[in-house]
Amino acid sequence: MKKNILFALLAIAALSTTATRAEESGHVNAVEYERLIVNWNPSGTRLARVLAYGCQTCAPARFEIHQNTELEGEDGSPLDIEFLKTRVDWAGTVQTLEGQTDSIYKIMLH
């Protein structure tokens, strides 16, 4: 019982920290994509370019991943952003901040 309460409190604290940071930065847009094609090619602060497909026949959205982009695994745990270079093709949710729609704020892998 104590473990469940402690886990719940830690989860709430983590979520409120992320939410506060996003609120300070502006409105967050989240879109789920069927395919995320990652071209890992670091250049300056940009680490990779991403083509994101909402469906098989949809035109891709184009994004960039930077050093401050957050990455979350399928189980919700934070991952090092360089984990994305282990595969090219992913499914996931992309979050961008209002006014910075070509730069990924956070990726949640599915």
Q: What is the pLDDT of residues 2-13, one digit of tens each?
A: 444 444 444 444
Q: Is residue 4 part of a domain?
A: no
Q: Is residue 19 part of a domain?
A: no
Q: Is residue 18 part of a domain?
A: no
| Beta carbons within 10 angstroms of residue 54's beta carbon | 14
Q: How many structural domains does the chain have? A: 1
How do residues 29-43 score in pLDDT, each as one tens digit? 999 999 999 999 999
Strands 70-72 and 100-109 come out as: parallel
- Name the CA radius of gyration of the chain, rounded: 15
Q: Is residue 53 part of a domain?
A: yes
Residue 88, SS3 per DSSP: coil
Is the confidence at residue 18, as pLDDT, over 90?
Answer: no
Q: Is residue 61 part of a domain?
A: yes
Which tokens go with 34?
A: 């069927």
**pLDDT for the residue 24:** 57
Q: Is residue 22 part of a domain?
A: no
Q: Is residue 41 part of a domain?
A: yes
Residues 97, 26: contact at Cβ < 8 Å? Answer: yes
Q: Residue 42 is part of which domain span?
A: 27-109
Longest dimension (CA), the chain: 49
Q: Is residue 83 part of a domain?
A: yes
pTM tops 0.85, yes or no: no
